[in-house]
C-alpha cells in the first residue's frame, strides 16, 4: 500500500524545504518507501473533509490504507518503526533516538519558531525591537545547549537516526536567518544532513512542485 | 530496576501539577510502576553533571539501569511502550495515540506556553496589551480546533491513552488562567483526567514534596 501525504499547493517558501512535509518526505526517502503527494490549498485545509484527516488544518497528513495520521513527528516515527534505517536496533539507543525527536519538536523548535514568527508578523510593530533581546536569548540558550551536547560528533547519539532527521529538519528552517552561523558545529551538522542523498531527493521533489507549476 | 526521575526542589508552583514531571509521574502511576524521585535545585540543573543527563538543563530526566532519557514526551512514551495501559494493542490505534502525544506537545502546547510566558514575564511591558490579541488568537485557534475534534467524546480516540495523558497534562497547565472555561467539553475532558486515581496519586505525591518541606 503506497502512502499518500498532503503538502501545500501554494507554499510560502515556494518549496525550499521549510514546510513540514519536508521531514516526512526525507524519512520516506531514507527508508526507500515510495509515496504519493496530494497538494491542498489553504482554503481546502480549513474544510471539514480535510479537518477529518488533520484536526488542526495543517500539512502534512498521512494516509496508508485505513490509517490516517497527523503531526510530522508522529508520521516520521511511524515510518521509522516500520522500515529499517532510522532507529537503532538496541532498545536503549532506540529510546534515546526518540528522545531527540521530542527534543527537536518540543524544546528546540518553539524558541526558533517564535523568533521567526515575530520577524514575519511583528517586524513593523513598535515593540519588535524591544522584544528582540528576549527572542534572541531564548533561541541562543537552546542552540548553545544543543551545540555543547553535539560537540564534534557527527550525529547526536551514534549513527544517524530519526532524532537527527527531526533536529536537522528543525534547524534547517532557521538557517536562512543566519543564527546558525554562530554555532559552526550546528551549521556543519545541518550541512551533513543536507548532503544525504535522501535529503536531496526529498528537497528536489518538494521544489519540483513549484518549479513545475510556475512553468505551466 | 526501579526508575528514578528528577523534579524541582524549588518549584515555581509549589507542586501543584504544573511542572513537567507531573506527566511522567502520572504515566508511571497509570501503569503501576513504582519510582524514585531525585530533587534538584535550579543551580544543580545547570551543572555539567546534570547536563550530562539532560542536555537542556530541564526536569524531568529519567534513569533506569544504564538508560538515561529526557523530554517528558519521550519518557511517557517509553513507559507506555513497556507496560500495558497507555497504548492500544491494535497497530493503527497505537499510531494515532502517538500522534496525539505529538499534537499535545508540538501543536497545542506552544501557543498556550507563549500566552502564559507573556503573562508572567511581559505583563509590565508597554507592548503587553497590544500583543494580547495575537496571543489570544493563537491559543483560541488551537483550542477551538481541539474542542471541535473532541466533540462529546470521553477521550480523543477510543479509550484513554498516552495521547490523552499528554493532552490533559498540557491543558491542565492553562486551567488556572480561565481559558478553558470557554470550552466546556475541554474543561470536562481535563476534569475526567484529574478524576483518574493515577492522576490523583501523582498530583498528591508532587504536592507532598512541598508540603513536607514547608513543615520542616
- What is the distance between the alpha carbons of residues A183 and A176, in angstroms, rounded to a whole number? 14
| pLDDT tens, residue by residue, A43-101 | 999 999 999 999 999 999 999 999 999 999 999 999 999 999 999 999 999 999 999 99
- What is the distance between the alpha carbons of residues A142 and A103, in angstroms, rounded to a whole number? 10
B158 touches chain A (CB under 8 A): no
**A185 and A103 in a common domain:** yes
The reported pLDDT for the residue numbered B104 is: 98
**B134 and B74 in a common domain:** no
Would you call B51 and A148 a contact, using CB atoms and an 8 Å cutoff?
A: yes
Buried b (16+ CB within 10 A) or exposed e, A14-43: bbbbbbbbbbbbbbbbbeeeebebeebeee
**A141 and A163 in a common domain:** yes
Scanning every residue of chain B, which has its alpha carbon at the shortest distance from the alpha carbon of A52? B149
**B163 and B67 in a common domain:** no
Nearest to B77 by CA among B169, B194, B198, B161: B161
The reported pLDDT for the residue numbered B1 is: 85
Would you call B99 and A71 a contact, using CB atoms and an 8 Å cutoff?
A: yes
**A182 and A104 in a common domain:** yes
A126 touches chain B (CB under 8 A): yes
Is B203 a domain residue?
Answer: yes
- What is the distance between the alpha carbons of residues B183 and B152, in angstroms, rounded to a whole number? 12
The reported pLDDT for the residue numbered B215 is: 43
The reported pLDDT for the residue numbered B57 is: 96
A55 touches chain B (CB under 8 A): yes
Please answer whether residues B172 and B17 qualify as being in contact, where contact means their C-beta atoms are separated by less than 8 angstroms.
yes
Strands (E), A49-181: 61-64, 67-70
Identify all chain A residues contacting B99, using CB atoms and an 8 Å cutoff: 69-71, 74-75
Is B169 a domain residue?
Answer: yes
Distances (CA, A) of B33 to A99, A105, B27, B75: 20, 27, 9, 13
* CATH number, residue A188: 1.20.1050.10
Is B52 a domain residue?
Answer: yes
Identify all chain B residues contacting A51, using CB atoms and an 8 Å cutoff: 145, 148-149
Residue B94 CB: number of other CB atoms within 10 A?
20
A195 by Cβ neighbours in 10 Å (0-12 / 13-18 / 19+) ranks as: exposed
3-state SS record for B70-135 = ECHHHHHHHHHHHCCCCCCCCHHHHHHHHHHHHHHHHHHHHHHHHHHHHHHHCCCCCCHHHHHHHH
Torsion angles phi and psi, residue A116, rounded to 5: -70, -40
- Element spanning B44, H or E: helix B42-45
| pLDDT tens, residue by residue, B161-172 | 999 999 999 999
A10 touches chain B (CB under 8 A): no
CB-nearest to A73 from B75, B102, B145 is B102
**B104 and B72 in a common domain:** no
Task: Enter the C-alpha cell of residue A193.
Answer: 544532513
Residue B38 DSSP SS3? strand
| Closest CA–CA distance from residue A210 to any residue of chain B (Å) | 27
Please answer whether residues A40 and A59 qualify as being in contact, where contact means their C-beta atoms are separated by less than 8 angstroms.
yes
Grid-cell match 526501579, residue found: B2
A127 touches chain B (CB under 8 A): yes
- What is the distance between the alpha carbons of residues B57 and B75, in angstroms, rounded to a whole number? 16
- What is the distance between the alpha carbons of residues A33 and A76, in angstroms, rounded to a whole number? 12
Nearest to B173 by CA among B101, B97, B133, B116: B116
- Element spanning A95, H or E: helix A91-103
The reported pLDDT for the residue numbered A215 is: 44
Question: How many domains does one find in chain B?
Answer: 2
User: How many CB pairs below 8 A link A and B?
Assistant: 119
Is B213 a domain residue?
Answer: no
Instruction: Report the range of poorest mean pLDDT among A117-131, A154-168, A182-196.
Output: A117-131
* CATH number, residue B43: 3.40.30.10
Is the pLDDT at A1 greater than 90? The verdict is no
3-state SS record for A45-58 = HCCHHHHHHCCCCC
B49 by Cβ neighbours in 10 Å (0-12 / 13-18 / 19+) ranks as: exposed
Instruction: Report the range of poorest mean pLDDT among A10-14, A33-37, B110-114, B201-205.
Output: A10-14
Give the angle A170-A174-A180 at the CA atoms, nearest 5°.
105
Nearest to A50 by CA among A6, A100, A85: A6
**B96 and B182 in a common domain:** yes
A99 touches chain B (CB under 8 A): yes
Strands (E), chain A: 4-8, 36-40, 61-64, 67-70
The reported pLDDT for the residue numbered B213 is: 57
Q: Which of A73, A82, A133, A150 is the best substitution to test chain B (most B C-beta atoms within 10 A)?
A: A73
CB-nearest to B98 from A77, A127, A146 is A77
Identify all chain B residues contacting A77, using CB atoms and an 8 Å cutoff: 98, 102
Grid-cell match 536567518, residue found: A177
**A118 and A25 in a common domain:** no
Grid-cell match 480535510, residue found: A50
Strands (E), A53-138: 61-64, 67-70
**A105 and A170 in a common domain:** yes
Would you call B105 and A110 a contact, using CB atoms and an 8 Å cutoff?
A: no
Identify all chain B residues contacting A117, using CB atoms and an 8 Å cutoff: none
Grid-cell match 513545475, residue found: A212
Q: Residue A61: beta bridge partners?
A: A70
Task: Enter the C-alpha cell of residue A143.
Answer: 542552540
The band of A216, judged by pLDDT with boundaries at 50, 70 and 90, is: very low
Q: Which portions of chain B are predicted below pLDDT 70?
A: 213-216
The reported pLDDT for the residue numbered A213 is: 57
Share of chain A above pLDDT 90, in %: 86
A132 touches chain B (CB under 8 A): no
| Closest CA–CA distance from residue A21 to any residue of chain B (Å) | 15
Would you call A125 and B130 a contact, using CB atoms and an 8 Å cutoff?
A: yes
**B149 and B59 in a common domain:** no
**B173 and B95 in a common domain:** yes
Domain that holds residue A203: 4-85+198-214
Query: Cα A160 to chain center, whole Å?
Result: 16
Residue A53: half-sphere exposure toward Cβ, Cα within 13 Å: 23
The band of A120, judged by pLDDT with boundaries at 50, 70 and 90, is: confident
**A95 and A65 in a common domain:** no
Please answer whether residues A188 and A150 qualify as being in contact, where contact means their C-beta atoms are separated by less than 8 angstroms.
no
The reported pLDDT for the residue numbered A12 is: 80
Amino acid at each position: 500500500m503506497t502512502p499518500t501525504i498532503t503538502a501545500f499547493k501554494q507554499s510560502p517558501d515556494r518549496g525550499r524545504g521549510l514546510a513540514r512535509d519536508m521531514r516526512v518526505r526525507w524519512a520516506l526517502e531514507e527508508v526507500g518507501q515510495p509515496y504519493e503527494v496530494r497538494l491542498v490549498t489553504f482554503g481546502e485545509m480549513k474544510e471539514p473533509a480535510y479537518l477529518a484527516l488533520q484536526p488542526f488544518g495543517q500539512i502534512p497528513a498521512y494516509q496508508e490504507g485505513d490509517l490516517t495520521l497527523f503531526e510530522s513527528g508522529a508520521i516520521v516515527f511511524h515510518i521509522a518503526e516500520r522500515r529499517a534505517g532510522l532507529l537503532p536496533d538496541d532498545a536503549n539507543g532506540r529510546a534515546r533516538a526518540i528522545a531527540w525527536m521530542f527534543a527537536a519538536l518540543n524544546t528546540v523548535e518553539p524558541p526558533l519558531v517564535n523568533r521567526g514568527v515575530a520577524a514575519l508578523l511583528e517586524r513593523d510593530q513598535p515593540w519588535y525591537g524591544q522584544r528582540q533581546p528576549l527572542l534572541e536569548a531564548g533561541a541562543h540558550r537552546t542552540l548553545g545547549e544543543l551545540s555543547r551536547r553535539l560537540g564534534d560528533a557527527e550525529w547526536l547519539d551514534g549513527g544517524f537516526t530519526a532524532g537527527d532527521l527531526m533536529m536537522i529538519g528543525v534547524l534547517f528552517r532557521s538557517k536562512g536567518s543566519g543564527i546558525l552561523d554562530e554555532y559552526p558545529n550546528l551549521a556543519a551538522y545541518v550541512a551533513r544532513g543536507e548532503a544525504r542523498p535522501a535529503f536531496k531527493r526529498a528537497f528536489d521533489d518538494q521544489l519540483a512542485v513549484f518549479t513545475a507549476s510556475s512553468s505551466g
